[in-house]
Structure 1
């Protein structure tokens, strides 16, 4: 267990130092390829009916999660069995590093900030289109900044705190199981004609796994707002009021805290694939969202992540010494 604590801490530091270099092999991309291959395989073998697609979707979620967790477990077992403790520690450190996305979230969102700061709105729209699912071609400067802030706020939970939670709970195997489910949701968890039935299980499972981490993330973020000199009282107030203003039971948890901490209004109507979608707003519009809010959201994300990391590892150490 002590080796796991060390691996998680070192993995977080590796992510802070290196991020996700473009072109470098990453297991999340392999999980994505696995999902695509399994989807094609299962679609060809199950009836093309709502019931058949739901059955295929359940098997898709089960196989993807078990293969990802089993691969991580197998790699660690082989490392300990044939390479020894220190090599296994190094391997688990790399596996933990692969699961945390704080640096890549910061880097991609700050590209939006840099373009906005340079007054290049077309470049800012292109940059934000890489990290959001909505249409970006017609976004104003404020709309671009708001989209980037929302992405940082939401992904603080499922891209950083949740992986740390599952790593602390069950090491790299459980961390990879979570990441597989999260990747499934991002690939097939859509309510459109193609994925409404096939992706239902993946979406529900992702909601279930993120239920506790999302709420812990919100609480850590409220504390982090105070550490950042932001409005922690407003963060707590907006969280209590607006944390359910989303079709997902989890996504608005950290968005509400971030909106309250910054004193801005997030979410609201958006367009996806040319189709306008009505969505509730989160927060109060005490001022307009500005490019510097992207930097503030990232600072909030890192403080939140450090609080979560410290808390999870402290609990593990206390359990270790108690046992």
Structure 2
């Protein structure tokens, strides 16, 4: 907001959504998220060897994890800010274009849909082998033995959870602070996805990254819950009442303070149960069961989840366009 006016921020954010709808998220080697990931791995290699096990060393490992988190988010914000200032100094419209493009790289509406359909299309063709392979690209659980219903669950859970991470949260921060703050959020989320695990290697080193991501997602997750209820109200065949009830009844059961909200909302809206038994590296893990199993999950639920994803983005775009009409007219 200190670089651009509110009108300019809203305009660029709306344009970024449209850009993502059209071209998605190209996986270029210079894509900012890829560069952020490389920086995280480089800093991790310098700070953490994964060998500290004593009580004394665990505190030091957490301190180094804080150093990783702070350096990544601050650098991401500052580099983005400098790039925009440099572009704007050349020409005002170049600043707009650079900001819009970088905001679009922090969201992944089309990319999330494409990833979901990489699983849906083989399922539709009866090709479980490919469906399992592509599901393994987007989830951490073992997929080699999963049938259609469990593959569907994995994809629907991923789409639901990422409505926060890949859509609402980056847009929320873009509207507050433009591309620099949106990129800082994307760095926070990338940190969590790379080191925010409760395993032997990252339990202490990734603690700060995981907690910071929880903080950054707290408000966006709750906004997403409201938006999903609204989308369920607008889309035929979905239940807004069940979506709201599922959030109240089940969201707190999820190990994440945020992910349970969109997953419960989608489960309630569709009338299916998410969560259950997952296997990670051969070890079984029972996850909180969200929603009511009013019917059996089918591959078509992937389509419904993607429709809810796009429905949320349409509602946001509609809201931004209404704001622009008020601001300019």
Shorter-chain TM-score bucket reads over 0.9
Match of 2:251 in 1: 243
Q: Structure 2 vs 1, CA of residues 99 and 317 (structure 1 numbering), >3 Å: closer, same or farther? A: farther
Matches within 5 A, 1:160-309: 160-229=167-236, 230-309=238-317
Matched, 1:43 2:51: no
Matched, 1:13 2:18: yes
Match of 1:32 in 2: 37
Matched, 1:100 2:100: no
Q: Structure 2 vs 1, CA of residues 134 and 37 (structure 1 numbering), >3 Å: closer, same or farther? A: same
Matched, 1:3 2:11: no
8 Å CA contact 2:11, 2:324 repeated in 1: no
Q: What SS is found at the alignment partner of 2:284? A: strand
In the superposition, the TM-score normalised over structure 1's length comes to 0.94
Q: What SS is found at the alignment partner of 2:110? A: helix
Q: CA deviation at 1:159?
A: 1.0
CA distance in 2, matches of 1:113, 1:310: 28
Aligned length: 319
What stretches of structure 1 move > 6 A for 4+ residues in a row? Answer: none
Which one is further off, 14-23 or 222-231?
14-23
Which one is further off, 6-15 or 164-173?
6-15
CA distance in 2, matches of 1:23, 1:73: 21
Q: C-alpha deviations, 1:175-229, integer Å up to 9, x for none? A: 0111101000000000011100000000000001100000000100110012121
Q: What SS is found at the alignment partner of 1:138? A: coil
Structure 1, unpaired ranges of 5+: none
Matched, 1:64 2:72: yes
Q: CA deviation at 1:158?
A: 1.2
Structure 2, unpaired ranges of 5+: none
8 Å CA contact 2:14, 2:320 repeated in 1: no
8 Å CA contact 2:10, 2:320 repeated in 1: no
Match of 1:75 in 2: 83
Q: C-alpha deviations, 1:270-322, integer Å up to 9, x for none? A: 1111111121200111111111110110000111122234446756886x67x
User: What is the alpha-carbon root mean square deviation over aligned residues?
Assistant: 1.9
